[in-house]
Amino acid sequence: MNDKNTNADYGVWARSGSTSGPELQLAQLVRSLAGRDKGQLYLVVAMDGARVLVADGRDRGVGKPKKKNRRHLQLSYKVAADLKDKAASGKVTDEEIREAINKLAGENAKEGM
């Protein structure tokens, strides 16, 4: 089987399509697996049925989040717990999202990502 995510550390990232991986939740770090933004890191800011609204605080801010199909996202086990309530109420800022992504991605790099 040819896995398109061969460079991923599955201790930090769940395999796409895996049923035993993390549950999708607000303020979770995710990686795009498909589209022009493949490989881009985002934070989940809202969930809308089969679609997930994600933002990176730069190109895609909370004012205009990107809609992604859940199947096109690789889920991380990392969640910005301090932003979870803010994301639920819609009061998270782009700066907070950028800081959270940098912090969580930095933790992933330390763990062998």
- Residue 8, pLDDT above cutoff 50: no
Written out in words, the top-level CATH class of the domain with range 28-110 is mainly beta
CA nearest neighbour of 27 among 75, 68, 70? 75
Cβ neighbours around 96 below 10 Å, total:
19
Residue 112: predicted pLDDT: 45
- Identity of the residue numbered 45: V
Cβ proximity of 34 and 72 under 8 Å: yes
Average pLDDT over all residues of the chain: 82
- Residue 12, pLDDT above cutoff 70: no
The predicted-structure confidence for 19-73, as pLDDT tens digits, reads as follows 556 789 999 999 999 999 999 999 999 998 889 999 999 999 999 999 999 999 9
